[in-house]
Amino acid sequence: MGLALRLRLMVSGAVVAAILTIAGMVVLVNQVSHQYAGLLSGAVRQSQDARAMEVAFKKQVQEWKDILLRGADPADLQTYSQQFTAQEKAVQALAAKLTDEVTDPGVSSEVDRFRDQHSVLSAKYRNAYQAFVASKGLDIKAADTAVRGQDRGPTDLIEKIVSDLSAQQQRVLADTNRRVREEQLIVVGGGAALILAVLIGLYFASRGIAEPVRTATSVLGDIASGDLTVSMTGTYNDEFEAIKDSINTAVEDLNAGLNRVVAGADRVADTSRFVESVGEQLIQSAQITRVSLNVIEQAVRGIDTAGGPANLARQLAEVRHALGAMATIADRNVRAAEDARRATSELRTNSDNLQRLVATYRLKPVETPAWVNERPRTPVAEIAAAAR
């Protein structure tokens, strides 16, 4: 698998994990919203309606007391009678609504019993009200005695309904919270598992990247420090295989090139020493020749031409001229040999410096080229003769 493809797969896996985790959280939020909406439309609303019915019933009872206390005044009687009737209808409407809403059999039975008792109480209130109106609001005691204690049964039932619905609400809320926590654990666990899987994949993928990088860095560091015996090892199935081959090829080429440089420097050093030796012999030969020429010239100058042939002086002059030319050539050869000796000495110095520089590198041993072991084939005599 190529490095680029591996990186794309890692990024794609991370994106997919993030999308799945976000999607799971969105689903969880939607489920929680629906569950709480159902809770609000169910147990909470039933509990609220029960409390509203309890309040309306208590107001109805209070309005009856106001009728008895202030009913002697026709205007007050009318006002409180209307308010009593309104609260009575509110209680009946809320009780009917609860009958439709409540699903718990026990609470539903309690609501039915309350409605029955409330109907009986309402009939008693109407009878007591008619008697009270007939007495023109004067016989309060008779009206009160007719309904005294009759509201206790409905009051106890409605309190029981409120308590049961409140307990039911708490149970539903606790159950909803439990389901939410379970779903949270599922989503968080799934998200954690996905993230863990991505992290594990990233770890192994990073190892597949980091290890070749560390190996290549180590090899390049050794090369930079002068060790050319190293090489990048291992088998890779991506771009790092090409990197390994390139590094190893470069090291081999550099190693071979520096070995050739060392061999060439050795050859140059040997040759320069040989040339220096030849130069020394040429200088000595030229100096000997120059001394011999001087001796001959002195001998020629000592010949007396007075008693000799007529052309003897001319011939001696020619000999001296030839000796002078030969002395000039000998001097020139000495200078040329000295120049060559200085040049070869400088060449050998440069060769030694090059060898010291290359010696700072640690090279792999290679087969010495055949030309390194070849010795100069030109004899000293031939070089000297060529110089003369």
pLDDT in tens, 253-286: 887 887 777 777 777 777 777 777 777 877 788 7
3-state helix, strand, coil in the chain (%, to 5): 85, 0, 15
- Cβ neighbours of 129 (radius 10 Å): 21
Give whole-number Cα distances, 225 to 176, 264, 361, in Å: 70, 23, 8
Q: Is the pLDDT of residue 132 over 80?
A: yes
- Phi-psi map region of 137: left, alpha, beta (phi>0 left; psi -120 to 50 alpha): left
Confidence label for 123 from pLDDT (cuts 50, 70 and 90): very high
- pLDDT, greater one: 213 or 112: 112
pLDDT at 3 over 60: no
| pLDDT tens column, 283-341 | 788 778 878 878 887 777 777 666 667 676 777 777 778 878 888 887 887 788 788 77
Q: What are 197-211's pLDDT values in tens digits?
A: 878 877 776 766 777
Give the pLDDT score at 308: 64
Q: Which CATH architecture describes the domain 3-210?
A: Up-down Bundle (1.20)
As a whole number of angstroms, the distance between CA 97 and CA 91 comes to 10
pLDDT in tens, 156-165: 999 999 999 8
pTM of the model: 0.46
Greatest Cα pair distance, the chain, in angstroms, is: 207
pLDDT of 210-260, one tens digit each?
777 888 888 888 888 888 788 888 777 667 778 878 888 888 888 788 777
* pLDDT (0 to 100) of residue 14: 67
DSSP string, 172-231: HHHHHHHHHHHHHHHHHHHHHHHHHHHHHHHHHHHHHHHHHHHHHHHHHHHHHTTB-S--
- 22 SS3 class: helix
Q: DSSP characters for 56-98?
A: HHHHHHHHHHHHHHHTTSHHHHHHHHHHHHHHHHHHHHHHHHH
Summarize the confidence of residues 127-149 as an average pLDDT.
Answer: 88
Distance, in Å, from the CA atom of 60 to the CA atom of 208, rounded to the nearest integer, reads 82
CB contact set of 352 (below 8 Å; sequence gap of 6+): 265, 269
Question: What pLDDT does residue 387 have?
Answer: 47
Q: Which of 15-24, 144-153, 161-170, 371-380 has the lowest mean pLDDT?
A: 371-380
Q: What is the pLDDT of residues 350-372, one digit of tens each?
A: 878 877 777 777 777 766 556 55
Determine the pLDDT at residue 254. Answer: 82
Calculate the alpha carbon distances from 192 to 32, 185, 245 in Å: 20, 10, 41
Residues forming CATH 1.20.120.1730 domain(s) in the chain: 3-210
Q: For the chain, what is the total number of helices (H) and then of strands (E)?
A: 9, 0
Q: How far is Cα of residue 282 from the mean position of the Cα atoms in its chain?
A: 76
